[in-house]
Chains A and B, each alone.
Chain A
C-alpha cells in the first residue's frame, strides 16, 4: 500500500486555475510549467510521483478544456482526491487516465502530510482513519484501470472487429 504525500487544495479550484486560459494555445508539455500559476506559483514544483492532490468540493469546475486533466496527469501525481468534481473535468480525467477518487470526508491530514492510498481496497488511510473511495467500480474505473479511453478501447476486442 503506497504512502503518498498530500498537497491540499481548497474548494472550487476551477479549470482556469489549473491551466490559465492564455496558455491553451500551447501544446500540453509547454503548458506544464504554468500549471496552477495563478493559484499558487510554487505548487507545480510539488507535484509528481508519490504525491496526491486532496481538494475541496467541485475540483475542476469551469471549462471543458481537456488539457487541465492531461497536464495534471503529465506531472506524474498518483491521484486527485475530492468530495466532488466538475462533471466534464471528471470525464476528461478518466479519459486521459488521471486517477480521480471521490472521498466525501474532509482531508484529515495537514498539507504535506502523508497518507496511504489503496485504490485496490477502495480506501484511503489517513491519520489512522479508513476513508472509503466512493467511485470504486463501474465504467469510469474500468477506463482508468486501462490508462485512459484510447488504451481502453484498444484493449477492447470489438473495436477492431467492427
Chain B
C-alpha cells in the first residue's frame, strides 16, 4: 500500500510541469508520489473530512466502533447540522441530538446550526487550495471553488477517511470547461452553470474531474465560483475545481507563489475540453425536472409561478441576497406568490441584516426561513404542495425533491428568481435591472 503524508504546502512544486491537470498534481501531492495517471489507484491524504446530521454519525457510529472508535485526526473532521434543523419532528430532533453528542464525544469540530455545511466550509476557510476534501454529501464538491480537490462520498468512504485519514481513489480523467469573455449585467455564474449543463453531453463529462478556466471564470468572486464547483454534482463529475488564483490565495492567507503562479496545464492534460464565451450569454433557467433542461429564460418567460425560493448551498450566499435585493428594492412580490428566503449561513444572515439587504427583502414580501437546507431536499419547512410552480435558486429540480411530485421546479439565478416573484411568472431579470 502506498503511504500518504508528506503533502505539505512545499509540495506544490510540479515536477511534471504543464503536462498534468491541477487535479492530478494535487492528488499526487496528497498521495506522496511524483505523478498520478488516470486509471491508477492511490491512497490520498485527507486534509478535511466532513459530514452532516443526515449522512454522519447515524450511519458511521456503529462501524466506527467496530474499528476501535478512534479517529486518525479529529482536528480534521467537521460535523454540521443543516438538513434536519431546526427539527420539526421528535424523531429528527433526537437524531440531531445524537449527532451532536457523537461529535462532541469524539472531539471533532461541531457546527450546530451555523449554516449549510458547504457554505460554512468556504466561510471558515476549511477547504484550501491543493488539498483533498472529502464530504459525505454529493455537493461536497463545493470546496473546488478555492482549488481544492473536493469529492462527495458515501458512508463507507467517510468511515475510512476519518478512521485512516486517507482515502483510496482511482484517479479520474480530467476535462476542462472554459468560459471566456465577461457575462453581461444580470447574468451570473448560475446562468453559466445551467448553460454548461445544457451543452455538455453527460456521457462525455461524467466520472471525470472537471477544471474551470477562462476570463469569465476568473472574473467571478469566490461566492460565484462556488456555484461552478457545487453544481459539478449535477454535471456528474468527481470533482469540480476552479484553480486558485491570487484572489483566493489572499482570501485564505496562502502564499500565491505556491498556486497562482503554477504553470497552467497544457491542452494534452485534458481528455476533453469545451470553450464558450459569456459575452452574449443570457439568463438561463432549467425546466422541470432536470438541471440539464436548461434554456434562456426568454424561451420560458410568462409561465405563471406560485412559489419562489432563494436558498440552499448553491443559491443563498450574500451575493445572491444582494442580487435579489437589487431587483426587489421598492417592489412587491406578486399577489398569490410565496417568496421564501433561507440564507445559507448565520454569517450570511448577519451580514444581510447589517447592510440593509434583509429589510429590502422583507419589505418586498419575502418570508425568512432558518439558515439551513430547508425545503431544498424536502426535509425542512417550506415544501411545495401539488400543483405548485416554483422558481428556485437551488441546484436540483428532480421530481418530488422539494415536496410534492405534482410540483414543477424551475432553476435559475437569484436575479431571475426574485424578478419572477415580482412578475408572478418566469421573467428575464434584465428587464428589472434596466430600471434599477
- A interface residue numbers (CB < 8 A to B): 12, 21-22, 58, 61-66, 86-88, 90-92, 95-96, 138-140, 142-143, 148-150, 153-154, 159-160, 162
Which of A64, A95, A138: most chain B Cβ within 10 A? A64
Q: Are A150 and B67 in contact (CB under 8 A)?
A: yes
Interface members, chain B 177-209 (any A CB < 8 Å):
203, 206-207
A92-B156, A150-B63, A162-B72 given. 8 additional CB < 8 A pairs? A58-B203, A61-B206, A61-B207, A63-B138, A91-B168, A95-B157, A149-B156, A150-B156
Residues in A neighbouring B163, C-beta threshold 8 A: 153, 159
Q: Are B157 and A91 in contact (CB under 8 A)?
A: yes
What is the CA–CA distance of A125 and B139 in the complex, to the nearest angstrom? 41
Pick the residue among A22, A61, A91 that contacts B236 (CB under 8 A). Answer: A61
Q: Are A159 and B156 in contact (CB under 8 A)?
A: no
Q: Are B68 and A160 in contact (CB under 8 A)?
A: yes
Given that A95-B154, A159-B68 are contacting pairs, would A64 and B138 also be in contact in the complex, using a CB cutoff of 8 Å? yes
Q: How far is the CB of A4 from chain B (nearest CB, A)?
A: 26
Residue contacts A-B, CB under 8 angstroms, 18 given: A61-B206, A64-B153, A65-B154, A66-B154, A87-B206, A87-B207, A92-B154, A92-B156, A96-B156, A140-B170, A148-B156, A149-B156, A149-B159, A153-B164, A159-B68, A159-B164, A160-B67, A162-B70
Task: Please tell me if B5 contacts chain A, counting CB pairs below 8 Å.
Answer: no
User: Which residue of chain A has its CB nearest to the CB of B40?
Assistant: A138
Residues in A neighbouring B164, C-beta threshold 8 A: 153, 159
Q: How far is the CB of B76 from chain A (nearest CB, A)?
A: 13
User: Which residue of chain B has its CB nearest to the CB of A86?
Assistant: B207
User: Which residue of chain A has its CB nearest to the CB of B399?
Assistant: A21
- B interface residue numbers (CB < 8 A to A): 1, 41, 43, 63, 66-68, 70, 72, 138, 152-157, 159-160, 163-164, 168-170, 172, 203, 206-207, 236, 238, 398, 400
Pick the residue among A21, A61, A64 that contacts B152 (CB under 8 A). Answer: A64
User: Which residue of chain A has its CB nearest to the CB of B70?
Assistant: A162
What is the CA–CA distance of A138 and B169 in the complex, to the nearest angstrom? 11
Q: How far is the CB of A65 from chain B (nearest CB, A)?
A: 7
Pick the residue among B1, B172, B203, B206 that contacts A139 (CB under 8 A). Answer: B1
Q: How far is the CB of A42 from chain B (nearest CB, A)?
A: 25
Q: Are B66 and A150 in contact (CB under 8 A)?
A: yes
Q: How far is the CB of A121 from chain B (nearest CB, A)?
A: 21
Interface of B is mostly: mixed
Q: How far is the CB of A87 from chain B (nearest CB, A)?
A: 4
Residues in A neighbouring B153, C-beta threshold 8 A: 64, 88
A-B contact count (CB 8 A): 78
Q: Are B41 and A138 in contact (CB under 8 A)?
A: yes
User: Which residue of chain B has its CB nearest to the CB of A22?
Assistant: B400
Q: Are B67 and A88 in contact (CB under 8 A)?
A: no
What is the CA–CA distance of A78 and B175 in the complex, to the nearest angstrom? 35
What is the CA–CA distance of A6 and B425 in the complex, to the nearest angstrom? 53
Q: How far is the CB of B263 from chain A (nearest CB, A)?
A: 27
What is the CA–CA distance of A26 and B215 in the complex, to the nearest angstrom? 46
Q: Are B154 and A64 in contact (CB under 8 A)?
A: yes
User: Which residue of chain B has its CB nearest to the CB of A96?
Assistant: B156
Residues in A neighbouring B159, C-beta threshold 8 A: 149-150, 153
Residues in B neighbouring A22, C-beta threshold 8 A: 400
User: Which residue of chain A has its CB nearest to the CB of B156?
Assistant: A95
Q: Are A149 and B41 in contact (CB under 8 A)?
A: no
Residues in A neighbouring B207, C-beta threshold 8 A: 61, 86-88
What is the CA–CA distance of A160 and B160 in the complex, to the nearest angstrom? 13
What is the CA–CA distance of A64 and B236 in the complex, to the nearest angstrom? 9
What is the CA–CA distance of A140 and B68 in the complex, to the nearest angstrom? 23
Residues in B neighbouring A153, C-beta threshold 8 A: 67, 159-160, 163-164
Residues in A neighbouring B66, C-beta threshold 8 A: 150, 154
